[in-house]
Amino acid sequence: MEKQQLIIIGSGPAGYTAAIYAARANLKPILYTGFKAGLEGGQLMTTTDVENYPGFPEGILGPEMMMAFKQQAKRFGTDIRAEDVLSVNLKKAPFTVTTADTTMETKALIIATGANAKRLDIPGTREGEMWQKGDSSCAVCAGAAHIIRGKTLFVIGGGDSAVEEAIFLTKYAAKVYIVHRRDQLRASKIMAERAKNHPQIEILWDSVLDSVAGDTVVSSVVVHNLKTNQQSSYPAGGVFFAIGHSPNVDFLQGQIPLTQSGYISVEKGTSKTAIEGVFAAGDVQDDRYRQAVTAAGSGCMAALDAERFLSESGV
């Protein structure tokens, strides 16, 4: 079995930043980009303009930014492997990391597997129904699809993602409704104002999606006002969920303690998990900030913590 000093799982800002620091510290890290159907590059691959990452005064496209992170990690010698990690064994050191092709041993591990978009279990939106036929949790991926062009679209949620997706979809849609369960958006003020002032966006307050219908693609939705208890049917060409995220921890199979909300628990102010030699970075351990810049910062912390752990272990 191949033996490594450091394996990093995940290819978002946290994983690549950890790789940049670890490679520069000569730890020869291996970085697995995937983690069970994970998207290489993480959530920024499905984002349009990133306007709040310092150093890009004009903004930068999410995928472009992730390619730059990747090139920088490669430049210092990170061994980047486009494979999904299927399982890990953290019961004793050295730990093992298994993909479809190999199992490797490693002295230290950084988990930076991020979080995935949540969906709701609503009639018409399940696999085999209208999922990916106008139902999606990724506006950027589906935005240009011909089936939604010129149609009325629905975005579910009231956070920054919902607003961002709604604004993005106005490029293709005739009209975009944001369906939000409360009477106030969770989105930041600047984003909320953009949504409220956008001529193609209307917000359905205190409302939830009851069902989605269609033959081969989405053609209508039923929305339910929680205050008036009234149901309304609308013609629709697509439905997009933007209701938050859940951390990608299933592949750990309960081997690391999690927080109450299911994120990896780390020692305050560090990236150390309850298992010595295993570190966590980015959204998989952060249900509070969840920003590209905070993920990158925590990736740096994980690499520094791993480096110290390895040198104290005599590596």
* Min separation Cβ 120 and ligand NAP, Å: 6
* Min separation Cβ 297 and ligand NAP, Å: 15
**123 vs 257 by CB, closer to ligand NAP:** 123
Q: Which residues bind ligand NAP (CB under 6 A)?
A: 52, 120, 156-162, 164, 181-182, 186, 188, 208, 242-245, 290
**107 vs 245 by CB, closer to ligand NAP:** 245
Three-state SS string across the chain, please?
A: CEEEEEEEECCCHHHHHHHHHHHHCCCCCEEEEECCCCCCCHHHHHCCEECCCCCCCCCEEHHHHHHHHHHHHHHCCCEEEEEEEEEEECCCCCEEEEECCCEEEEEEEEECCCEEECCCCCCCCCCCCCECCCEECCHHHHCCCHHHCCCEEEEECCCHHHHHHHHHHCCCCCEEEEECCCCCCCCCHHHHHHHHHCCCEEEECCEEEEEEEECCCEEEEEEEECCCCCEEEEECCEEEECCCEEECCHHHCCCCCECCCCCECCCCCCCECCCCCEEECHHHHCCCCCCHHHHHHHHHHHHHHHHHHHHHCCC
Q: Return the residue nearest ligand NAP (CB atom).
A: 159
**120 vs 315 by CB, closer to ligand NAP:** 120
* Min separation Cβ 50 and ligand NAP, Å: 7
**97 vs 169 by CB, closer to ligand NAP:** 169
**283 vs 307 by CB, closer to ligand NAP:** 283
**50 vs 108 by CB, closer to ligand NAP:** 50
**22 vs 162 by CB, closer to ligand NAP:** 162
Q: By the 8 A CB rule, do 128 and 292 touch?
A: no
* Min separation Cβ 43 and ligand NAP, Å: 9
Tell me how far apart the terminal alpha carbons of the chain are, to the nearest angstrom.
19
* Min separation Cβ 93 and ligand NAP, Å: 34
* Min separation Cβ 209 and ligand NAP, Å: 8
* Min separation Cβ 242 and ligand NAP, Å: 6
